[in-house]
Structure 1
Amino acid sequence: MNNLTVHPLKKEDIDSIIAIENLCFPTPWTKESMEGELNNKFAKYLVIKKDNVVIGYGGLWLIIDEGHITNIAVHPEFRGIGIGNIIVKELIKLCYIRNISSMTLEVRVSNIVAQNLYKKFGFKEAGIRKRYYSDNDEDALIMWKNEK
């Protein structure tokens, strides 16, 4: 895991982020949506690079006293080596710095790998959003992490 850097999302990272989105998700965010997040005062996105190439990213919305994880993705060639752990740790750190003690997210009920990642960091199952994903009407598992 040499030559890794983590930094806030910049406009020049967006094409790489969209490429990863397209590799990872059946309904990826559009370039316009991601560019909009740069101007969203509630949004914070982090990018992980290896040798100056984007290999993963994560984002959240900071709303009042909650952090809502919007998306996390790791390029398929770099999965299984701890990049997801780094992203989640950094997002938790962003919330901690801002005195935000609760975090939430939705994850596909079929995405056991992601669920296990979140559980490792203290997220717990809190409910189901029926037919949340429009590509196949799959349910979303709602998960929460509370530090109070």
Structure 2
Amino acid sequence: MKIGIGSDHNGFEFKEEIKTFVKETTDHELVDYGCRACDTVDYPDVAFEVSEAISNGDLDRGILICGTGIGVSIAANKYPGIRAALAHDTYGAERAQLSNNAQIITMGAQIIGVNVGKKVVEAYLNAEWAEGSKRKVDKIMKKEKEFVAYE
């Protein structure tokens, strides 16, 4: 699986720890979309880049991090076809994929610790959507199509 990861400056150090964890514990390909240092970066910019890469088929899933996880979640969900879920525990991370086929999870570096973040990422990456809630996800996507013109 090809996974994009990104953060703003508030999530930089957290992102770096998650990157190391994913590289050391999985065989997934990881693509870093920034930020590259603790310099100020606006979270929507990173969220839009990862969302676009998923939408274009360049990535399978994404992990986005900011201070609370809320900002990157809101920004990513503005991108047509993207379902980003805020996940601060393993159950929520697993359900994001199992129930909602979320292509992205978001986390808040100022909300949860790195060790919890690693477990959240592990739960998310180990879950596979079995279309059990397909009817519900289809309703969400249908409503989105009422407001957004798809290609």
Q: TM-score range by the shorter chain?
A: 0.3 to 0.5
Instruction: Indicate the structure with greater strand content.
Output: 1
Instruction: Indicate the structure with greater helix content.
Output: 2
Higher relative contact order (CA 8 A, sep 6+): 2
TM-score, L = length of structure 1: 0.33
TM-score, L = length of structure 2: 0.33
